[in-house]
Amino acid sequence: MKKTDVVRAILADRQHLLPCNTEAEAYASSNIALCKYWGKRNTELNLPMTSSFSISLGNFGSNIRLSVNENVADTACINDQLLDWQSSFGKRLREFLNLFRITPTLGFHADIHTNIPIGAGLASSACGFASLVQALDRLFGWELSLLELSILARLGSGSASRSLWQGFVEWHAGTQADGMDSYAEVCTDVWPDLCIGLLILSDTEKKISSRVAMQRTVATSPFYTAWPETVRHDLSAIKQAVREKDFLLLGKTAESNALSMHATMLSSWPPVLYALPGTVTAMQKIWELRQAGLMVFFTQDAGPNLKLLFLAKDKAHMKTHFPNMPIIQPFINE
Amino acid sequence: MKKTDVVRAILADRQHLLPCNTEAEAYASSNIALCKYWGKRNTELNLPMTSSFSISLGNFGSNIRLSVNENVADTACINDQLLDWQSSFGKRLREFLNLFRITPTLGFHADIHTNIPIGAGLASSACGFASLVQALDRLFGWELSLLELSILARLGSGSASRSLWQGFVEWHAGTQADGMDSYAEVCTDVWPDLCIGLLILSDTEKKISSRVAMQRTVATSPFYTAWPETVRHDLSAIKQAVREKDFLLLGKTAESNALSMHATMLSSWPPVLYALPGTVTAMQKIWELRQAGLMVFFTQDAGPNLKLLFLAKDKAHMKTHFPNMPIIQPFINE
C-alpha cells in the first residue's frame, strides 16, 4: 500500500476537484510527546509501533500560506528564505505536495513562517505538515474532518498527526495495514496550571534524522522488543495523571519514557546519542533542583534540547534558574 | 547462605590455623570488562546475573602490605592516608577482614598503595580486594588455588574475582546457590598488539555507587530482562574476536555492550547517568575519529571515564589526539 492509495481513499470523490481557492492559510502548534512515538510498523505510511500522547505548544508552531499557479514551478520559503528542493526537508515537502497535485502543470507556492528551530528535535516537521494539510483542505475546499486530516498529516510526518489540536492529544497506533485506524484525537482534559519550558541547548540541525535513528533502533537495539510494553505502561500512567491532575506521576512517567527512548538509541549500532555536553549539564541541574524540592521534570525528543515540565506555582522559581527559557502554558491563551 | 559459610567451606581445615607470617604483600592489576558484569542474582555473595569477560590493566592496580598484631585495633592506609572505617570503602574493607579474623583480638594493618583513582569507575575495588585475598593467603599460609581465591575476592567485590590474573579473564556466572561455580579463569589467548587508553575525565568519587546503581537497574529498568541475552551474544562475539584477533568485532562488541549497560541505567528510576559533559564530548570525538578511519572504540564502566581500545599500529596517532592519556599494552611487559 502506497501513500497515494491512502490519499485516494480519503479524498474519494473530492480528488478530481480543482482548487476552489487560489490561496489558503493555516497555523498548527508544535507538539511534544509525553509518551513517545519511536519506531514504525510501516515506513511508507508512517504507521507507529505504539500509540503516543502529546501536549501542544500554543504559540510555538508553524504558519503556512499556500497558493497555486498553473504552469509555474513549485517554490517554498521558510522564514523568507527560499527552500532548496534538494535539502532533506525540501525533498519531503515536495514528495508530499506531489500527492495532491491534480494536474502535472499545477504549481504550489508555500510561504512558511515558523518560530521554532528546524531539525533540532522541536517537532518542526510535526507543525509543518499539520499546517500544510489544513491549508490544502482550505485551498481545495475538501472540508475533511480533523480525523481525516490527521491521517493525511501522518503521511508527511508521524508526529504531525498530533499537531491539529491544542492541548493533550493521543495518536492511536491502530492495527490496520492501510492505517485508517491510525490517527490522533484530542483529549478533553485541561490542565491550566501545567507549564512547559523550552530549554534550547542547540538550534542547529541534528546530524542523524529522527527517521534514520528510529529505523536503526528498531533494527539493532536489543532493548527495542521491551519498548512497546514500556509505552503501554507509560501511556496508561500519563492518561491517569492527566485525569487526576497528578503532576508527580505525569512528570516521572514522561521523564522516564523519554530516557527509555534514548536508552534504546544508545544500545543501537552504530550508537545514537542526541545529548550534547550541555544536555548532560542541564539534566544534572534538573535532578539537583528536584532533590532540593522543586518539582520539575524533563522530556527529550530526537535532539539535544530538553522540555521542562512544572506547575504554574513554580514559574517564578523556574525563571530564576532558567532566566532565558521560553515558558508555555498550553491551556492559557496569552 | 552467608559470606562466612563460603569462607568456612573454602578454608575447611585451614580455618583454625593462626597466621603463619606477621606480614605479607601482594599486587593485583585493575581490570576492565569488555563484556560487563551488571546485576546480581545474590547480593550477599555478589553472584552475578551473567558471565563477564575482562582485560587486566598491567601496572595499573593496587599493592597491599598486610600485617597482624594481637590486641591492636585495625588500621589501614591508602596511599599513606589513614582510612576512615566509617567511609564507604572503610566499611566494606572491615566487613571483609572480619571474615578472616580468627580471634576477636586479632588486629590487621593494611597498607595499600594504588595508582588509580578510587570510586571513579576504574575498578579500584576490584584490584583492592584481589590483592587483599592474595595477601591473606600468604599471611595465613593457606596456599589456596587462584580459583578459590577468586571466589573469596568475589565476596569483597564482584569484579575482584577477575583481578587475580594478567590478560583476558572470564568470570563464570555459575548457577549454584552457594556460588562455588562462580569464579574467574584466565583465558590463554594473548594479543600483544592490543592497547588500552585510560581517558580520565574525572577522578572524583561518583555520587551513586556501582552496587546501588546495579540494584536500582535490576529492580526498575524495563530493559533489564533483555540484558542477559545481550551479554550471552556479546560474550560469545568477544571470545571469538579474541581467538581470531578480529579487532573490529572486539571493539564494536565491547563498545555496544558498555552502551547497552548504560542504557539499562538510563531507563531506571530514578535515572542513573554516569556521563559527564566531558564524557559526551569524548564519545563524539571517538566516533568522529572512527568515521575518519581510525579504528578506536571505547568502553565505559560505572563512572564518567572512558577506556579506549585500539591497536599498537595506531599508538602514535592516538597520542596526537589524546596527548595525556596513559596507554597500557596488557600483553607487553614495560
Q: Note whether B275 contacts A: Cβ–Cβ < 8 A.
A: yes
Q: Note whether A63 contacts B: Cβ–Cβ < 8 A.
A: no
In the prediction, which pLDDT does A164 show? Answer: 97
Final residue belonging to a domain, choices A161, A186, A211: A186
Chain A hits for B264, Cβ within 8 Å? 223, 263
Q: Residue B333: inside a domain, yes or no?
A: no
In the prediction, which pLDDT does A234 show? Answer: 98
Span A152-159, average pLDDT = 97
Among the partner residues A255, A266, A281, nearest to B277 by beta-carbon distance: A281
B285 and B167 together in one domain: no
Residue A39 banded pLDDT, cuts 50, 70, 90 = very high
Question: What is the ipTM score, two decimals?
Answer: 0.93
Q: A121 near A150, Cβ under 8 Å?
A: no
Residue A13 banded pLDDT, cuts 50, 70, 90 = confident
A133 and A201 together in one domain: no
Among the partner residues B259, B270, B271, nearest to A267 by beta-carbon distance: B259
pLDDT at A120 over 60: no
State whether B233 and A222 contact (CB < 8 Å): yes
Final residue belonging to a domain, choices A122, A153, A186: A186
State whether A280 and B281 contact (CB < 8 Å): no
A174 and A55 together in one domain: yes
Chain B hits for A280, Cβ within 8 Å? 273, 275-277, 279-280
Can you give the pLDDT of all 334 residues of chain B as single tens digits? Answer: 999 999 999 998 776 678 889 999 999 999 999 999 999 999 999 999 999 999 999 999 999 999 999 999 999 999 999 999 999 889 999 999 999 998 889 999 999 999 887 665 667 889 999 999 999 999 999 999 999 999 999 999 999 999 999 999 999 999 999 999 999 999 999 999 999 999 999 877 778 988 899 999 999 999 999 999 999 999 999 999 999 999 999 999 999 999 999 999 999 999 999 999 999 999 999 999 999 999 999 999 999 999 999 999 999 999 999 999 999 999 997 6
Among the partner residues A260, A270, A276, nearest to B280 by beta-carbon distance: A276
- Phi then psi for residue B152, to 5 deg, are -65, -45
pLDDT at A263 over 70: yes
B180 and B211 together in one domain: no
State whether A280 and B275 contact (CB < 8 Å): yes
In the prediction, which pLDDT does B13 show? Answer: 75
Q: In what order do the strands lie in the sheet with A297-300?
A: A297-300, A306-311, A194-199, A327-328
Measured between alpha carbons, how far is A249 from A236 in angstroms, rounded to an integer? 11
Which of A38, A115, A33 has its CA nearest to residue A307?
A33
**DSSP labels for A136-175?**
HHHHHT----HHHHHHHHHHH-GGGGGTTSSSEEEE----
In the prediction, which pLDDT does B102 show? Answer: 86
Q: Residue A90: inside a domain, yes or no?
A: yes
Query: What is the 3 state secondary structure string of B14-52?
Result: HHHCCCCCCEEEEEEEEEEEEECCCCEEECCCCEECCCE
In the prediction, which pLDDT does B39 show? Answer: 97
Q: Residue B334: inside a domain, yes or no?
A: no
Structure-block grid coordinates of residue A244: 487526576
State whether A222 and B260 contact (CB < 8 Å): yes
In the prediction, which pLDDT does A74 show? Answer: 96
Strand partners, A62: A28, A114
Measured between alpha carbons, how far is A170 from B170 in angstroms, rounded to an integer? 48
Measured between alpha carbons, how far is A254 from A262 in angstroms, rounded to an integer? 13
A265 and A158 together in one domain: no
Q: Residue A221: inside a domain, yes or no?
A: yes
Q: Give the CATH number, domain containing residue A108.
A: 3.30.230.10
Instruction: Give the up-direction half-sphere exposure of residue B258: CA atoms within 13 A in the CB hemisphere.
Output: 26
Which residues have CB under 8 Å from A311's CB, separation 6+? A193, A194, A195, A247, A295
Q: Note whether B50 contacts A: Cβ–Cβ < 8 A.
A: no
State the maximum Cα–Cα separation within chain B, in Å, rounded to a whole number.
Answer: 64
Tally of domains in chain A: 2
Measured between alpha carbons, how far is B32 from B47 in angstroms, rounded to an integer? 18
Chain B hits for A233, Cβ within 8 Å? 222
Among the partner residues B233, B259, B269, nearest to A256 by beta-carbon distance: B269
Q: A93 near A83, Cβ under 8 Å?
A: yes
Span A152-179, average pLDDT = 97
Task: Tell me how close the Cα of B111 comes to any Cα of chain A, in angstroms.
Answer: 37
Measured between alpha carbons, how far is B51 from B36 in angstroms, rounded to an integer? 8
Chain A hits for B267, Cβ within 8 Å? 223, 230, 256, 259-260, 263
Measured between alpha carbons, how far is B180 from B237 in angstroms, rounded to an integer? 26
Its domain, for residue A171, covers 3-186
Between the alpha carbon of residue A28 and those of residues A18, A112, A131, the distances in Å are: 24, 11, 5
Strand partners, B197: B308, B327
State whether A267 and B270 contact (CB < 8 Å): no
B182 and B290 together in one domain: no
Mean pLDDT (chain A, rounded): 94
In the prediction, which pLDDT does A57 show? Answer: 93
pLDDT tens, residue by residue, B229-284: 999 999 999 999 999 999 999 999 999 999 999 999 999 999 999 999 999 999 99
Q: A171 near A186, Cβ under 8 Å?
A: no
Sign for the pseudo-dihedral over CA of A313, A314, A320, A322:
negative
A212 and A239 together in one domain: yes
Structure-block grid coordinates of residue A167: 492541548
Q: Residue A216: inside a domain, yes or no?
A: yes
B38 and B20 together in one domain: yes
* Block residue for cell numbers 569477560: B53
Measured between alpha carbons, how far is A59 from A188 in angstroms, rounded to an integer? 20
Q: A48 near A158, Cβ under 8 Å?
A: yes
Final residue belonging to a domain, choices A186, A217, A248: A186
In the prediction, which pLDDT does A118 show? Answer: 67
**Which three-class secondary structure state does DSSP give residue A247?**
helix
Span A74-80, average pLDDT = 95
B93 and B182 together in one domain: yes
Q: Residue A228: inside a domain, yes or no?
A: yes
In the prediction, which pLDDT does B187 show? Answer: 96
In sequence order, which ranges of chain B are alpha helices (DSSP H)? Answer: 3-11, 88-98, 124-140, 146-156, 210-220, 227-244, 247-266, 277-291, 315-321
Structure-block grid coordinates of residue A83: 527552500
Burial-class residue A300 by CB neighbours within 10 Å (0-12, 13-18, 19+).
Answer: buried
Which of A135, A159, A152 has its CA nearest to residue A38?
A159
Structure-block grid coordinates of residue A315: 514559574
Mean pLDDT (chain B, rounded): 94
Residue A119 banded pLDDT, cuts 50, 70, 90 = low
Residue type, A147: L
In the prediction, which pLDDT does A14 show? Answer: 79
- Phi then psi for residue A129, to 5 deg, are -75, -30
Q: Note whether B208 contacts A: Cβ–Cβ < 8 A.
A: no
Q: Residue B144: inside a domain, yes or no?
A: yes
- Phi then psi for residue B108, to 5 deg, are -105, 145
pLDDT at A121 over 70: no
A235 and A279 together in one domain: yes
A221 and A238 together in one domain: yes
Burial-class residue A16 by CB neighbours within 10 Å (0-12, 13-18, 19+).
Answer: exposed
pLDDT tens, residue by residue, A95-116: 999 999 988 899 999 999 998 8
Chain centroid to CA B148:
17
A253 and A309 together in one domain: yes
Measured between alpha carbons, how far is B318 from B27 in angstroms, rounded to an integer? 29
Q: Give the CATH number, domain containing residue B319.
A: 3.30.70.890
Q: Residue B298: inside a domain, yes or no?
A: yes
Q: Note whether B267 contacts A: Cβ–Cβ < 8 A.
A: yes
Q: B188 near B169, Cβ under 8 Å?
A: no
In the prediction, which pLDDT does A102 show? Answer: 86
Measured between alpha carbons, how far is B244 from B238 in angstroms, rounded to an integer? 10
State whether B233 and A226 contact (CB < 8 Å): no
